[in-house]
């Protein structure tokens, strides 16, 4: 990992206040400096899923927001569908996020700024609770997932050049590890393996599914209680 990424993403999350039920469980598991490596399998990324692939020596730092919307009737994950005309990842399901820019203070700032730009979700609605382990991609990015609990009552304003739609996946579906399948595709000229999660008529795969899968491992027990 480059020294820049280490310094840039070595952010201390301010202590968050617990609430009730699922939100409180998530904060207990992920927040307030919890060691995410204890008692859980090592996280996966594109290279863990595809051993033997050459790792990028200088991955480009980026960050995404993993928005957990805290509805009264149950939590969900907010995702976006990229527009079909984009040069990179056209039509794919993704988290709001993007590359680190020179004016960003840290990875959290990157994720929140990109979220505001892409879908109009104001950072005042987001309570950041954790940074997950970076996810390295075949395309040369090192993604830091920023987990945030989103207070309902927001209005979205999509950047229609980049984002075709925003939608939510129920918590019990997104973090049920039994729903994930590992499949192989021809990608970038080679047969490569990725995790896949189906939801309604949408197909969530690649880094987005991988990050969700990693988080589902970290939330083991909590997610199962929601599913059951």
pTM of the model: 0.89
- What is the number of domains present in the chain? 1
Residues 90 and 82: beta-carbon distance below 8 Å: yes
Residues 78 and 150: beta-carbon distance below 8 Å: yes
Residues 112 and 187: beta-carbon distance below 8 Å: no
Residues 62 and 32: beta-carbon distance below 8 Å: no
pLDDT band at 196 (very low <50, low <70, confident <90, very high): very high
CATH at 148? 3.90.79.10
Give residue 11's domain range. 3-227
> pLDDT tens, 165-178?
999 999 999 999 99
> pLDDT tens, 74-87?
999 999 998 877 66
Residue 58 or residue 88, greater confidence? 58
| CB neighbour list of residue 190: distance below 8 Å, 6 or more residues apart | none
pLDDT the model gives residue 10 = 61
- Mean pLDDT for the chain overall: 87
| CB neighbour list of residue 207: distance below 8 Å, 6 or more residues apart | 45, 46, 94, 135, 137, 141, 143
pLDDT band at 181 (very low <50, low <70, confident <90, very high): very high
């Amino acid at each position: 990992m480059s020294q820049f990424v280490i310094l840039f993403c070595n952010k201390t999350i301010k202590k968050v206040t617990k609430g009730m039920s699922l939100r409180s469980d998530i904060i207990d598991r992920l927040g307030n400096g919890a060691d995410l490596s204890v008692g859980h399998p090592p996280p996966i990324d594109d290279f863990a899923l595809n051993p033997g692939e050459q790792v990028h020596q200088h991955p480009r730092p980026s960050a995404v927001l993993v928005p957990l919307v805290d509805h009264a009737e149950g939590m969900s994950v907010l995702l976006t569908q990229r527009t079909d005309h984009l040069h990179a990842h056209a039509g794919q399901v993704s988290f709001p996020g993007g590359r680190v820019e020179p004016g960003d203070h840290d990875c959290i700032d990157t994720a929140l700024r990109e979220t505001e730009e892409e879908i109009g979700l104001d950072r005042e609605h987001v309570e950041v609770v954790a940074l997950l382990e970076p996810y390295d991609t075949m395309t040369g990015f090192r993604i830091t997932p920023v987990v945030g609990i989103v207070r309902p009552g927001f209005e979205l304003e999509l950047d229609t050049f980049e984002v075709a739609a925003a939608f939510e996946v129920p918590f019990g579906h997104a973090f049920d590890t039994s729903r994930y399948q590992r499949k192989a595709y021809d990608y970038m000229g080679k047969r490569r393996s990725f995790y896949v999660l189906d939801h309604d008529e949408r197909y969530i795969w690649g880094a987005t599914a991988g990050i969700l899968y990693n988080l589902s491992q970290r939330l083991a027990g909590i997610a199962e209680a929601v599913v059951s």
